[in-house]
Structures are given as C-alpha cells and as structure tokens.
Amino acid sequence: MSNRLTGNYLYEVFYNLMSLFGVGLVILIYSRIGRGNVLTKRLAPITFEIYLYHGLFIQIFRCDRLYIANDIAFLFAVYGATFVLSYVMHKISEAILNLIGCGRTSVKKGA
C-alpha cells in the first residue's frame, strides 16, 4: 500500500473523529449549561438565521478572493459576521411582518 493512500485515509479518519468529538463536546456543554440561561434566551429568536448564514460565511471567508489563513481569525470572523447578519436580518423580517400585520407584536392579546 502506498504511503499517499495511507496518509489520506488516516487524515480522513482523524477529521471524522474530530468532528464527532466536537459534536459530543457541544452536547456535553449544552447539557451542563441547560436551556434557561441568558445565552440561549438571547440566541433563541435568531437560531434559524444563524443556521442559514453560517455556511455562507464559511464559504466567503475561505474563497479565493477573501481567504483568512489564520484559523482563530477565521473562527471569529465567521461567528461575528454570522451573528451580526442574523440579528440584522431577523430585525428586518420582524419589521416587514409587523408592517403587513403578521408579526408577533401585531397580534392582539385575547384574540
């Protein structure tokens, strides 16, 4: 077996194990923190937007024209841009829904 084939195989196994470790770590941290903390209450309204824009910024910040080589800077850039755009888009969608009468604040209580 060639050294190149073994290297690629070990590389893929390593990164799959690291992905599983990362998911397990997130689950462990979330189980320790719980659902009712300040962070989850603040991020709850924009979780769908975070889901939508996270992959977009991963692609943008690692493309040919805008490549962030430093992994720590890449991490902060992706999360920062994701949270900012998610918050802005959530506020815009709330304003549009309130304008057409479908938002949360436009519904009368008791109706």
Q: How far is CA 54 from CA 7, 64, 102, in A?
A: 30, 18, 27
Choose among 90, 75, 96, 106: nearest CA to 43: 90
pLDDT of 21 strictly over 60: yes
Query: Model's pTM, two decimal places?
Result: 0.63
What residues does each domain of the chain span? 1-33, 35-111
Residue 25 CA to residue 37 CA, distance in Å, equals 18
Residue 94 CA to residue 111 CA, distance in Å, equals 20
The answer to whether the CB of 90 falls within 8 A of the CB of 46 is: yes
State the pLDDT confidence band at 6, using cuts at 50, 70 and 90.
low
Residue type present at position 56: L
pLDDT digits (tens, 9 = 90+) for 49-104: 998 899 899 999 988 888 988 888 999 999 999 999 999 999 999 999 888 887 66
